[in-house]
Each structure stands twice: as C-alpha cells, then as structure tokens.
Amino acid sequence: MALMRGELDAAERLLAEANSQASGTDTTQRANQMAFIGVQVFTLRREQGRLKELGSVLTHFMRTTSAASVWGPGLAVLYAELDRLDEARVEFERLAARDFNDLPRDGRWATCLAYLAEVCTALKDARRAVMLYRLLLPYADRALVLGGGFVCSGASGRHLGMLAATMSNWPASERHFEAALAMNTRIGALLPLAHTRHDYAAMLLARGAPGDRERAMALLRSSLSSARKMGAHALEERAAARLQQLEAAPPTSAGDHDLTPREVEVLRLIAIGRTNADIATALAISLNTVATHVRSILAKTGSSNRTEAAAHAMRRGLAPGADH
C-alpha cells in the first residue's frame, strides 16, 4: 500500500521489517517470503532510480537458475529502464518467440503483461503491441496486481494506453489513459497516477493534435511535482527531461514550412520510426498516398532522407525526443 501511494520512505522501512521477520522462519517459508519481498524491492529500487544496484544480481540469477519464465519480463524491463535497449530487445524477442504463448497463465500473468507492455513501448514494437494489447484488453477497467498480490501498478488502462499509442491507435489510447487517470485517482494509487500522467503526455506529444502540446505540458508538470514529493527519482528525471525539451522548443503549427496538416501527421509518425506501411494503417490512407506525402515533406523541409526529416521534426518539437 505504501508503494502504491508513493510513500517510498515508508515502504523502505516496512521492507526492512519484513526482511527481519522472514529471517526467523523455516527455509521453505523464508524462500517464499523472500520471493514476494524481492518483487517489492525491485519495484522500490526502480522508482528510486537505483536499478543499477540490481542489474548484475538479477542477470546472474537468470543465468544460474531456471527462473527465466518468472524473471524474464523483469530482466527485460530492467534493461529498458537502464536504456540498454539492445539487451532489452534480445530478452523481449526470446519471450515473444511464440507470440507470447509461453507466458505462464498463473499468478505471474499480470506481472508479465505489465512489464512486457512497458518494454514493447520502449522498443516501439508496433507489431508486438497488437499482440500484447489483445492479451491485456480483457482486464481493461481493472487494477493490475503484480508479484502474486504484493505490488499494485494501478489501472490497467495505463498499460493499454501505452500499447495503443505504440500502435498509433490514438482514440483507443486516449480512452484508456482517461480511464486510468480516473481509476488511479479513485483508489488512491498516487504513484501509478504520476506515471499515467507522464505516459499520457508522451502519447499526446506523439499524436500532436491541436491542443495536445499544452495538455501534455500540464500533465508533465503534475507528474514531475508528484515524483519529486515521493522521491520517485526515475520518473522525476524522465518528466523533467521531457518538459525541459518542450519548454526549449518553440510551439509549431501545421503551417511550418508550408506543410499541410496531413503532412505534419505523417512527419510526426516518421519521427517516431514508423514505416510507410505503419503510417498507412494509422492514418487509413494508401501506401501510394503516404509515399507522396513523404516526398513532399522531404522537399519542403530540405531533407535528403527520412532520418534527416525525423531530426528536423525533433528540432521543431513535432515529436518527443526521449525514449518512453
């Protein structure tokens, strides 16, 4: 409950007490208790920005035990959190080898889905986002409880919103994020609420519709304020960096370089790594139309290729410059 409320100092004290109490139990019982405590420690250190302390330990644990089915998603999210995306991708690909059919359908199910949704978002893997979205959708409008019941990550709408944004399904993403804001507020999940505001802002910046930039800035300021009060340093750092970038970049309009509103939409998607096929699906237009827009964008922005166009978009504030 302390973790869910963002009372991280209290959570630290309570975990120390739990560890002390577990030391007096028999070997089997202690092992079970330490497994649950481990999920909470992982969550706490992640929020404190101290996951580097656990990286080598968890990697060694994975290599020397048969824990891959339990901690594989945890290892992937650890790599993503530490911006070791190549390693995160290797672990993610292993878990996705059979379209996630190997994930355990037991008390670990919610943990796997939550962690993998975050990794998928960090990797911008639209194809796998579709798969994970379908797996998580039956739990829409519910709170996700991880680690067999020892960590509440708040409303599932946050993770569904992230996956929908990765798919460029903006209406669904907005709907899920709005539901997550409401639920997390209602149940007092203040730490998940701060994360939801940050991730919602990231979606709005990627979409770039009229008014999205201003709303995103308000959400980021609220997320940053909450993170600072809680001592959630990892979230604080992400929100501060994204907000600083936004405040440094001048607001842009559809008239930038005489781009049409549709060309601005296409450029925003190019900037977050979408292929022409992805763009065609997201905007419900043909591949030929996308190609025409891309050629026009390159000409109007003076870019020789998509990479230069993406860089131009980043400089003009048309897309978020930091990974999720």
Query: Which range, 47-51, 65-69, 317-321, is most confident?
Result: 47-51
SS3 state of residue 249: coil
CATH of region 49-183: 1.25.40
Which pLDDT tens digit goes with each residue over 179-236?
999 999 999 999 999 999 999 999 998 888 888 889 999 999 999 999 999 999 999 9
Where is pLDDT greater, at 25 or 10?
10
Which pLDDT tens digit goes with each residue over 237-261?
999 999 998 887 666 544 455 788 8
Cα 140 to Cα 130: distance, rounded to the nearest angstrom = 15
**Per-residue confidence (pLDDT) for residue 323, from 0 to 100:** 42
Domains 49-183 and 256-315 share a fold: no
Burial 160-176 (b: 16+ CB within 10 A, else e): bbbbbbbbbbbebbbbb
Structure pTM? Answer: 0.77
Nearest CA to 50 out of 89, 11, 101 is that of 11
Whether the Cβ atoms of residue 303 and residue 312 lie closer than 8 Å to each other: yes
Q: Where are the domains of the chain?
A: 49-183, 189-248, 256-315
- Which of 12-26, 41-55, 154-168, 220-234 is least confident? 12-26
Mean pLDDT computed over 156-178: 96
Fold of 256-315: Arc Repressor Mutant, subunit A (1.10.10)
* Number of other CB atoms surrounding residue 219 within 10 Å: 25
Cα 39 to Cα 15: distance, rounded to the nearest angstrom = 11
